[in-house]
Amino acid sequence: MTKETLMQCRQELHTHLTQELLPFWVNRSPDRQHGGFITQFDQYGTDTGEDEKSLIAQTRSIYTYASAHRAGYGNGELADLARHGVDYLLNQMWDDEFGGFYWMTNRQGEVINDQKIVYGQSFALYCLSEYTLATGDTRGVDYAEKVFDLLQKYAVDTTYGGYFEMFYRDWTLKGPGPAGGDRKTLDAHMHLMEAFTTLYECTRRPIHRRKLREVIELLVKKIMHPQFGTGVPQFWADWQVAPQIKFEVIWGWDRFTEDGVKREAEDNTSYGHNAEFGWLLLHALDVLGLSYDTYRYVLQKAFAHAAHYGVDWEFGGVFVEGSHDGTVYDREKEFWQQAEGLIGFLDAYRWLGDELYWNAYENVHRFVLDKMINHSVGEWWPLMTRQGVPIWTHMSHSWKINYHTVRAMVQSIRRLDLLLAANPTA
């Protein structure tokens, strides 16, 4: 790693962010007629016309614009877009009767799925806290605190700890199996850590700090594999490992067998989640003012597993998933694992100084810049073969939105700047 290499990587990311990625979204996503954001685009960047606005896509879009504005991009335009999204979120998606945000509206703002899904509530918390930090508009943190209080009232499992995740509109817990009422997931709890981190950064309230520490302890002691330090996807209420199944209300594009069960359902881990867990925990520790050594053991395991087994050292990029002991099950390349790998490997290198992580970062950086980005349009392909040929071709859907891609550019540039400042003559 040399200063020239660091500067080249930074310039490539900055060019992509400012000349391709942000313009793609700024020019397409605002719905000036009905409010909020349009988030369904084909491989050419053309609106597909799909009649939905999901809580995930709306909140992630708000986060994207708020966080990029906070990082110094957009000359105020991104703050205006974030405000545009918050107006829609609070006016159309908030449930005045029972509290919390609805899962889905149509484009006109009419509710078409009124369930309360903790995964979606976590992103509301995340984006609204970030929005207040970025703009000073206190509506964000006011509603973030309302969601936080609702989660403590209705979603906390007072017997085994953690949070139940699937509720009807009135916060009645849903049933078992695909309804999801008897399951807990890595995904939701990791994003609650992310959300509570930003909420605490915004409020500095002791209760938010305590709940952040609590969810970190759950992740470290219950959710990450005790031997390998890797993320376990799904659990029963008592934190026994459960076979990974497809829920009725989904928030991603995971591939399942025809019966709705994941291959190797009790022995699979996501390399992208492990890298993402690592850097999100480091960020949480920064906000809490705690030493990285507090969780050194589990952090090192998560980062090492992602680098040793998740990186495709032959063709580049990050594989989708594999077993906890290292066998790779899915060698395709999905957009979000690449995005989280970029940030995670930079953080691991910045912290530990191990060249393994710089080499892993460079590997993923080149795959993204050379293969994953659809440069003619400006966004990333959602799913590719191992060699880098597109399998899915849409540029955006409710679950494939700007959150991972823009965040990866903003956060990676920030980390490259820290490395440049620490190694001026590298």
pTM of the model: 0.95
Whether 340 and 209 map to the same domain: the answer is: no
Give pLDDT, residue 245.
83
- Give 300-344 as a DSSP string: HHHHHHIIIIIB-TTT-SB-SEE-TTS-EEE--EEHHHHHHHHHH
Distance CA 172, CA 113 (A): 15
Give residue-wise pLDDT tens across range 60-69.
999 999 999 9
Whether 1 and 137 map to the same domain: the answer is: no
Q: What number is the average pLDDT over the span 351-365?
A: 97
Question: Which domain does 220 fall in, by range?
Answer: 51-225+234-266
Distance CA 398, CA 53 (A): 7
Phi, psi of 321 (to 5 degrees): -160, 170
* Cβ pair 384, 338 in contact under 8 A: no
Give residue-wise pLDDT tens across range 8-26.
999 999 999 999 999 999 9
Give pLDDT, residue 358.
97
Taking alpha carbons only, the member of 157, 193, 414 closest to residue 295 is 193
Whether 177 and 96 map to the same domain: the answer is: yes
Whether 177 and 298 map to the same domain: the answer is: no
The confidence band for 37, taking pLDDT boundaries of 50, 70 and 90, is: very high
Q: Who's near 149: CB < 8 A, 6+ residues apart?
A: none
Give pLDDT, residue 253.
56
Whether 83 and 220 map to the same domain: the answer is: yes
Q: What number is the average pLDDT over the span 229-234?
A: 91
- Give 11-34 as a DSSP string: HHHHHHIIIIIHHHHHTT-B-TTT
Distance CA 251, CA 42 (A): 19
CA atoms within 13 A on the CB side of 316: 18
Number of domains forming the structure of the chain: 2
Q: Which CATH number is 398's domain given? A: 1.50.10.10
Is pLDDT at 223 greater than 60 in this prediction? yes
Handedness of CA 311, 314, 320, 322 (dihedral sign): negative
Is pLDDT at 355 greater than 90 in this prediction? yes
Give pLDDT, residue 264.
63
User: Which pair of structure tokens corresponds to residue 6?
Assistant: 């660091």
Whether 324 and 278 map to the same domain: the answer is: yes
The confidence band for 116, taking pLDDT boundaries of 50, 70 and 90, is: very high
Whether 158 and 303 map to the same domain: the answer is: no
Question: Is 43 a member of any domain?
Answer: no
Is pLDDT at 366 greater than 80 in this prediction? yes
The confidence band for 398, taking pLDDT boundaries of 50, 70 and 90, is: confident
Give residue-wise pLDDT tens across range 137-158.
999 999 999 999 999 999 999 9
* Cβ pair 372, 388 in contact under 8 A: yes
Give residue-wise pLDDT tens across range 246-288.
888 876 656 655 555 556 656 889 999 999 999 999 999 999 9
Mean pLDDT of the chain: 94
